[in-house]
Amino acid sequence: MKKRFAKEKIITALWDANATSVAKAARKPHMSQTSIHRWRKQLDGIDISDGRWLKRIKEKNQRLKKLLVERNLEIEVMQETQGKKGRAHEHGAR
């Protein structure tokens, strides 16, 4: 996934959207209104004006990465277990 906008531009767009409208904010940095709405949803409940939002996003991102790693490990274990069961059936059939 290509990162198109810098964090500073996203913050500026969200501030502008809060001060004016999403349509006006989207025109300035050539962003889509959909992007601004998506960022608002992702940052739901986070006050972007106090600067702590980035820390919360990073924490959320770390939590999601951890869940992904755990899920991938579970899948790998299940695949290995399935492979061992398949080999055990092959040896038993001989």
φ, ψ for residue 43, nearest 5 deg: -100, 20
Give the residue among 59, 81, 57, 61 at the shortest CA–CA distance from 69.
Answer: 61
Distance from C-alpha of 58 to C-alpha of 87, rounded to nearest angstrom? 43
Q: Does the structure show a pLDDT above 80 at 4?
A: no
Please indicate, yes or no, whether residues 44 and 8 belong to a single structural domain of this protein.
yes
Amino acid 1: pLDDT: 40
Amino acid 57: pLDDT: 79
Count of domains for the chain: 2
Instruction: Tell me the per-residue pLDDT of 35-89, one tens digit each, with 9 for 90 and over.
Output: 888 888 887 666 666 666 677 777 888 999 999 999 999 999 999 988 877 666 6
Q: Does the structure show a pLDDT above 90 at 25?
A: no
Does the model's pTM come out above 0.75? no
Please indicate, yes or no, whether residues 45 and 59 belong to a single structural domain of this protein.
no
- Cα–Cα separations (whole angstroms), residue 5 to 17, 20, 31, 94: 16, 20, 9, 61
Tokens of 59: 């924490």
Domain span holding position 67: 52-94
Please indicate, yes or no, whether residues 10 and 41 belong to a single structural domain of this protein.
yes
